[in-house]
Structure 1
Amino acid sequence: MDRETRPPAARPVDAGVLHEVAYGAYHDPHSVLGAHVGDGAVTVRTVRHLADAVAVVTAHDVYEAHHEHDGVWVAVLPGTTVPDYRIRVTYGATTTTVDDPYRYLPTLGELDQHLITEGRHEELWNVLGAHVRRYPGELGDVTGVSFAVWAPNARAVRVVGDFNSWNGAGTAMRSLGGSGIWELFVPGIGAGERYKFEIGYRDGSWHQKADPMARYAEVPPATASVVTESSYTWSDDAWMTRRATTNPHTGPMSVYEVHAASWRPGLSYRELADELIEYVTTLGFTHVEFMPVAEHPFGGSWGYQVTGYYAPTSRLGTPDDFRHLVDRLHQAGIGVIVDWVPAHFPKDAWALARFDGTALYEDPDPLRGDHPDWGTHIFNFGRREVRNFLVANALYWLEEFHVDGLRVDAVASMLYLDYSRKPGEWRPNARGGRENLEAISFLQETTATAYKRVPGIVMIAEESTAWPGVTAETSRGGLGFGLKWNMGWMNDTLRYVAEEPINRRYHHGELTFSLVYAFSEQFVLPISHDEVVHGKGSLLSKMPGDYWQQLANVRALLSYQWAHPGKQLLFMGQEFAQGAEWDESRGLDWWHMDVPQHQGVARLVARLNEVYRAHPAMWSEDFSHRGFEWIESTDGDHNLISFVRRSADGEDLVVCIINFAGTPHEGFRTGLPHGGDWVEVLNSDDQSYGGSGVLNPSTLQAEEVSWNGRQHSVALRVPPLGAVWLVPAGR
C-alpha cells in the first residue's frame, strides 16, 4: 500500500500517560480520552476494561476500535470534524451502546473559575457539586450529571457511584488548572444516583469522600451523596414580596425553637408542615427556629456537627420536602430561622477532614485547626475558597430554601484564639492579640453579603461574651449581625428564679441587671435547648416549691420574658412546662397536654403572643431606652418589678408588673404614665392558665395619687408568682 492510501494512524500518547489514564490516575484524562483531531483524522479513545469488542458509532458509520493498553481502546475516524458519536461495547454475549463522558466541554466557565479562585462566587452551589444537565445532539438529546469538586492538592480525582459499580477507572475527572477544581460530565445518569469523589492523595492512596457541595445525601449512617434536581414550585410569593420590604428587627419576633426530628418523632418534613404549623399557629409564635437541618452523621449531635453543609438532612425527606415545609410555614404567616454552624466540623474520614490529603477546609495550624471541647476541626477562615464555601452556604439557605434568618452557632468560639485553651495551647494573632482576625473578617463578610443580597432576612449571633459591636454595622467595625442572643439575661434570670421566693430579695440585682446593658446590642432573650438538657432539667424542674408553685413560677418567668425588651425564643416543650428535660431520642412528653395545669401554661403562652403581637409597645422599640421605662426596679423586699413599654411612635403603652414572691400583694399601689381608665389585658394567675384567680376588675381607674414619681397610680391585686399587664382603655 502506498503512503497516499495508508489509513491514518491514531494520535500517539506517551505510554506512561496511557497507563495512568487506563486506571483513572491521570490529572487530565480529556487530553487523551474522547475525540481529538490531528493528522487529517479523528482519534477516539475510551476506557472499557474487560470488554471483548468496542466500536465508535456515528449517525452514518461504525468504526471498530482496537485494544491499545490495559482497557484503553482506540478508533480512528476519517475527516477533521468531530461527529456526534457513541461507544458500542460488547461483553461476552451482551452489547450495549453508551455515551462518552470525554466528548464534553467543561461545565465551568472561566468566570466561574476566576470567582472561585478569588473566593467571590456567591452562587457556588450552582457550579460545584452534582447537577443534572441536558444537551441536544444529532444522535438524540442527552441527559447526564456534571460533577465538580475543589481539591487543589489531589493527584487525581475520580467520581464513583452505582452507575459505574463504584469503580472510577473510567470516570476520572479533569483538573481545571490553578482553580483547584476537578470536573466531569457523566452522560446517561440523573437524579437519585448515589456517588462519591475518589481522591488520589500525593502518597498514592485513594480515599472516597462525600461531596462537600452535595445538595442531598443518603440517610445516615450511610454516607454517599445523592444527585438531586428540584422540581418544586413555590407558593409563598406574597410572603417573599413582603419580606423584601420589611425590617424584621423592628417587628414582632416570638420564636419557637424546634428540633425537627424529635418534636414528634417519626414525622417527615411534609408531615411537620401539617402538624407543626397548626400547633405554632394556635400558640401564636411569629417564627419557628429549626436546630440545624444540614446533614450530619450522628443524630445525638442535634445537627451541630455538620458533614453536608448544602444538604437538608435526608432523615426527614428530600430537599424539596424541606422546601414544602418552609413554603407552608410562610403561607401560614410564620417565619423560618435555621441554625447554621460555620464554627467547626467533624473529623469523619469520608467527609471534609483532610479532604484532598491536606488540611484543606481546616486550619493547618494545630493550635487553630482543632477544637479542644468538641473534638472537631475548625475552618481555615483565612483561606479564600473556604470562606467562599461558607458565605455561599449562608446564601444558599436564604435563597434556595427561602429561609428568613440564620442563627449562627458558637460565634464566641470563632472570635477568640484562646477559646477553651490554656496558656501555651494557642498562638496570638499578627498583632499579638487573642482575637481571631480571619474569623472576624469572615463573619463580617457573611453578614454584609447576606443583608445585601437578601433584603428582609435576619442574621442572629449566639455569642456568649461581652464582645463589642456584635450587632453594629460592619461599616462601623461591628460584626454586622441583626440580633444577638442575650446569654447574660438567660443565666441571671434562671439563677434568680431557682432561688426560693424568701431568698429572692438577696438576688434582686440578678433580675434587673439585664436592663443596665439591654440596649448595648440588639438582643434576643433565649430559653433554648441548651438550658433544658444534659442534667440541667426542664424549665419546670428548675423552679422551687411545690407543683403549683413551680408552674406559677414558669408562668411568671414567661410573662417577664415576653415583657422584657428584646425578641424572645422558647424551646419546644417549655411552652407547656414539660416536667422532664429534653431527650432527643424520645421526643416531647405530649401527655402533659392532657393535664389541665400544663394546658394552662400553653394557653398563657398563646395569650402572651396575642397581646405581644397586638401591641407595638412590646416590640417596635426593643433596642432603645425610648421603649422602656422603669416604674419600680428596687422593690426586692416584695420580689416585684414594674415598668412601662412604649411603641416607637409613643402612641402605645403597656404597663408590666411581675411578682416573684410566693404571696399576693393586695392593694399594691403602682404608678402609671397617665390618668384615665386602664384594662388588665393579661394576668398569669387566671384560673384558665392554672392560676389561683387573683385578678383585677375589668376596668381600673387611675387615681391622682402620686406614686413611683408619677402623678397617677392605681391600687392593684398582684397575684403570687404572677404577672399583670395593663393598657389604657380602648387600646
Structure 2
Amino acid sequence: MPTRTPANTPPPLDADTRKRLLAGTHHDPHAVLGAHPAPGGVTVRVLRPYARAVSLLVEGRTVELADEGDGLFSVLLPLAEAPAYRLRITYDGRDSETEDPYRFLPALGELDLHLIAEGRHEELWTALGAHPMTHQGVTGTRFTVWAPNALGVRVCGEFCCWDGTAHPMRSLGSSGVWELFVPGIGEGALYKFDITRPDGTHTVRADPMARRTEVPPATASVVTRSAHVWTDDAWMSRRAEHPAHRSPMSVYEVHLPSWRPGLGYRELAGELTAYVTDMGFTHVEFMPVSEHPFGGSWGYQVTGFYAPTSRLGTPDDLRYLIDTLHRAGIGVIMDWVPAHFPKDDWALAEFDGRPLYEPGDTRRAEHPDWGTLTFDYGRTEVRNFLVANASYWFEEFHVDGLRVDAVASMLYLDYSREEGGWTPNEHGGRENLDAVAFLQEMNATVYRRYPGIVTLAEESTAWEGVTRATHHTGSDGFGGLGFGLKWNMGWMHDSLEYIRHEPVHRQYHHGELTFSMVYAYSENYLLPISHDEVVHGKQSLVSKMPGDWWQQRANHRAYLAYMWAHPGKQLLFMGQEFAQGAEWSEAHGPDWWLLDPAYGAEPDHRGVRDLVRDLNLRYSATPALWERDTDPGGFRWVEADAAQDNVLAFLRFGTDGAPLLAVSNFSPVVRHGYPVGVPRAAGAWREVLNTDAARYGGGDVGNPGALSALPGPLGAFPARLLLTLPPLATVWLRPE
C-alpha cells in the first residue's frame, strides 16, 4: 500500500495572479500550474473546480494537496527537482487518475509558429486545431487556436462538463496562438474554445480549424484523425498527364444530401459512382461539403472550412466516396467558398472579441447580398487560413479541382454596394487588391503543390485574365488570377435567353447564340447549367423551353447537343440529364420517379437521359470536341448568319485536323436538302448523333447512311452537304 504523506503548503498565489487564473485571462497558466522550483523544494499547483480532493501519485507515494479554495490545490514537495507524477482527483467520492496537462512543454514547434506569423504555413491544419498525438511519452490531444486579441483562452468539452476553468491555454508569444496538450483526450471528444474577449466577457467558439464537427444543429468540434487507406494510386499518379484544358471534361453537378436523400457518403460511393460511370460523365462536382449550420444555404454559408459536413458521415467516409470515384476513373471537383462566412456567434464572426477573420471596416466586412461577412484578405494569417484550406482539400481528400464560388464579389470593393457604402483602394479604384493577391497566391500554391489539379472561377464579369498565369500582366496592369477554367456565365445567360423564345421570334435573337464565339478564347471556359439556373422561380431547364411537352423536350435535347459541341468544357446539374420538369428542391432532390416506366412513357424522360449518356460517350471519344478548347484554330463557323432559318452550324477540329460538324435547327420545321459547307471536296460523311432519334423521344427524322460531299464552293468551303435537318434538333456528322 502506498503511504500517505502530510502536505506542506506553499505560499499562496498573489491576488492578481489568482484572479487572472480563475477568470481565464492568464496568458501563461503553465507558469503557475504544474510543478515549479520554489524555496524549500518544488511547488505543485492544480486547478480542478468542483474537486473534493486532489492528490499526487509520486515515487510510490500518495501526497495530498492542500485546498486553497476556488478549485486550487497545492503542495510543497521537499525535493530538489520536479518528479514524475500523476494526479488523483476526487469528485463526490469518485476517484480518477490522470496526467497533469501543466507538466508538458509546448507541443507546437518554433518553425510552425514562424510560418504562421509569416502567413506561409502551407499545411496550417497540421499546426492548428485539435490533434491526437503522443507527447513526452503520453497520449492525448494538442489543442491550438489563433486568437491574438484574446485576454485568455480555455479549452472546454465533454471531458470537463463544458467548464473550461481547469484547462486554460498558454499564449505562444506574438504569434497569437494559444496551446494546451491535454492528456487522455482522444478521437471523438467534443470540444470548443472559451475565449475571454478584450472587454473581459466570454464567448465559447467552435474551432475554426476543426476537421470534424457535430451533426448540425449541434455546433461542437470533434477531435479526429484519419484511418483511411487510399487505393487511388493509379488515378493520382497519372492525373498530371492530362491537363484539364486539353482533356475531356463533362461535369455532373451534385448536391450530395439530396441526390438520393438519406444516403451517406459511403452509400453514395456505390450508387453515385455507378450512375456517373453509366452516364459517361468524366467528373462530378460536389456543391459545398464544408460544414454549414443551415442546410437551406446548400453549403454556401460555411462555418467549418476544414470539416466535411457531418450530416453524411465522417471525414473518412467522404474520403471513401472520393476514393471510390477515383477507382472508377471519375474526377472530383468541390465547390469552395472563400468569399464570405455567416455571423453565427459560435463561429468566426468577431472570433476573439474583435474583427479577426473579417475586415475591421464594416463597409468592407458586410456582404449586402447574403447577410454574411467577407474575409480580410489583407491580413496575413487570414490569407494563410484560406490558402492552406485550398491545399487541405487537395492533400487530405484527394480532390481534383476546386470551383471557387462568387469570385466577382471578392474582386470588387463596390460589389452590390450603393454609392457611399464602400471605400476605394489605395489607388482610388474599385478593385479589391488584397483579394486579387489572395487568389493569385492560392492558385500559384495549389498548382505548384498538386500537379494535374484544376481550379475553376465562378466569375460573372469581364475581369481580364481570370485564367491567365499569375506572372503575366495584362492591359489592366494586373497579373493573371491563375485559374485553370472560368465559368462562362455570358454564354449561359445568352443561350438560355435565346432558347426560351418561341421559334418564330428566335431570328431576332440569333446573335445571342453566336456572340459567345467573339470572346470564346479570351479565357479557358467551362459552360455551366448549374443549380443556380433551376431554382428560385427560374424553372428547370426543360421548363424554360417554349411549346408543348414534345417541343420542350426536343428543344432541351437540341440545346444540350449544341452545348456539348460548343468550345469549352460543360457542366450539367442533376435532374437536368433526364429533363426533370420541376425546379430542384434540396428537400427531396431529383424526381427519380420520372424514370420509372410506371410513370413515364418510353422514351420520355429516359430518352433524354439516354441522349445525355450518348453525348458524353461520343464527346469523350471525339478529340475534336475537347483537344483544342483553348485554340481558335479548333473552331470554324460554317453557318453563323442563318437567323431566319434558326440554323447554326460549325466545325470542331482535333489536333490531327479531324473535324466534327455540328448543325442545330432551332425551328420546328423539317428542312430538306439544306446546304452546309464542308472542308473536304471528296469522301463521305456520316451522322454520329441526332437528337431527333426515336430512342431519345424524337420523330426519327435524319440522314441515314453515308452522305457524299458535293463539289462546288459554298461560302468559304470547297464542298457542301445537302442535309435533312430535323425540327428542333441538333445533328453531329463526321467524315468517314
Deviation string for 1:335-386 (max 9, x for gaps)? 0000000000000111000000000000111110101111000100100000
For residue 559 of structure 1, what is the aligned residue in structure 2? 561
Distance in 2, matches of 1:432 and 1:669, equals: 56
Deviation string for 1:589-618 (max 9, x for gaps)? 111112221101110001111111001110
Partner of 2:362, secondary structure, is coil
For residue 525 of structure 1, what is the aligned residue in structure 2? 527
Deviation string for 1:15-42 (max 9, x for gaps)? 3202322453312111101111344632
Where in structure 2 are there 5+ consecutive unaligned residues?
Answer: 1-5, 473-478
Instruction: Specify which of 163, 169, 174 is matched with residue 167 of structure 1.
Output: 163
Residue 61 of structure 1: CA displacement?
A: 2.8
What one-letter code is carried by the residue in structure 1 that aligns with 2:37? V
What one-letter code is carried by the residue in structure 2 that aligns with 1:113? L
Distance in 1, matches of 2:490 and 2:174, equals: 48
For residue 638 of structure 2, what is the aligned residue in structure 1? 631
What one-letter code is carried by the residue in structure 2 that aligns with 1:390? L
Residue 12 of structure 1: CA displacement?
A: 6.5
Residue 72 of structure 1: CA displacement?
A: 1.1
CA contact (8 A) 2:9 2:66 kept: no
Distance in 2, matches of 1:698 and 1:235, equals: 46
Q: Does 1:535 align with 2:511?
A: no
Instruction: Specify which of 609, 617, 634 is matched with residue 610 of structure 1.
Output: 617
Residue 88 of structure 1: CA displacement?
A: 1.1
4+ runs of 1 displaced by more than 4 Å? 6-9
What one-letter code is carried by the residue in structure 2 that aligns with 1:506? Y
Distance in 2, matches of 1:703 and 1:244, equals: 44
For residue 661 of structure 1, what is the aligned residue in structure 2? 667
Q: Does 1:710 align with 2:717?
A: yes
Where in structure 1 are there 5+ consecutive unaligned residues?
Answer: 1-5
Deviation string for 1:177-226 (max 9, x for gaps)? 10000111111111111111111112121111110000111111111111
Which has the larger displacement, 411-420 or 75-84?
Answer: 75-84
Partner of 1:491, secondary structure, is helix
Deviation string for 1:287-315 (max 9, x for gaps)? 00000000001001000000000000000
Which has the larger displacement, 195-204 or 330-339?
Answer: 195-204
For residue 180 of structure 2, what is the aligned residue in structure 1? 184
Deviation string for 1:474-512 (max 9, x for gaps)? 001110000000000000000000000111111100010
For residue 120 of structure 2, what is the aligned residue in structure 1? 120
CA contact (8 A) 2:24 2:196 kept: no
Distance in 2, matches of 1:397 and 1:40, equals: 54
Q: How does 1:70-89 map to 2 (within 5 A)?
A: 70-89=70-89
Distance in 2, matches of 1:496 and 1:33, equals: 72
For residue 3 of structure 1, what is the aligned residue in structure 2? none
Residue 702 of structure 1: CA displacement?
A: 1.5
For residue 36 of structure 1, what is the aligned residue in structure 2? 36
What one-letter code is carried by the residue in structure 2 that aligns with 1:49? P
For residue 622 of structure 1, what is the aligned residue in structure 2? 629
Instruction: Specify which of 569, 574, 577 is matched with residue 576 of structure 2.
Output: 574
Residue 144 of structure 1: CA displacement?
A: 1.1
Compared CA separation, residues 508 and 47, structure 1 to 2 (3 A): same
Taking structure 1 as the reference length, what is the TM-score of the superposition?
0.96
Distance in 2, matches of 1:380 and 1:50, equals: 42
Q: Cα RMSD (Å) of the superposition?
A: 1.5
For residue 246 of structure 1, what is the aligned residue in structure 2? 242
Instruction: Specify which of 401, 412, 422 is matched with residue 405 of structure 1.
Output: 401
Q: Does 1:324 align with 2:320?
A: yes
CA contact (8 A) 1:8 1:40 kept: no
Distance in 1, matches of 2:59 and 2:226, equals: 34
Residue 136 of structure 1: CA displacement?
A: 5.9
CA contact (8 A) 1:575 1:602 kept: yes
Residue 235 of structure 1: CA displacement?
A: 0.4
What one-letter code is carried by the residue in structure 2 that aligns with 1:196? K
Q: How does 1:58-73 map to 2 (within 5 A)?
A: 58-73=58-73
Deviation string for 1:408-434 (max 9, x for gaps)? 000000011110111111111100000
Q: Does 1:692 align with 2:709?
A: no
Distance in 2, matches of 1:663 and 1:69, equals: 92
CA contact (8 A) 1:470 1:484 kept: yes
Instruction: Specify which of 589, 599, 604 is matched with residue 606 of structure 2.
Output: 599
CA contact (8 A) 1:18 1:69 kept: no
Deviation string for 1:508-560 (max 9, x for gaps)? 00010000000000000000000000000000110000100000000001001
Q: Does 1:225 align with 2:232?
A: no
CA contact (8 A) 1:524 1:566 kept: yes
Instruction: Specify which of 641, 660, 678 is matched with residue 672 of structure 1.
Output: 678
Q: How does 1:135-154 map to 2 (within 5 A)?
A: 135=135, 137=137, 142-154=138-150
Partner of 1:417, secondary structure, is coil
Identity between Structure 1 and Structure 2 (%): 61
Taking structure 2 as the reference length, what is the TM-score of the superposition?
0.96
Instruction: Specify which of 188, 198, 207 is matched with residue 203 of structure 2.
Output: 207
Deviation string for 1:236-256 (max 9, x for gaps)? 000010113331221000000
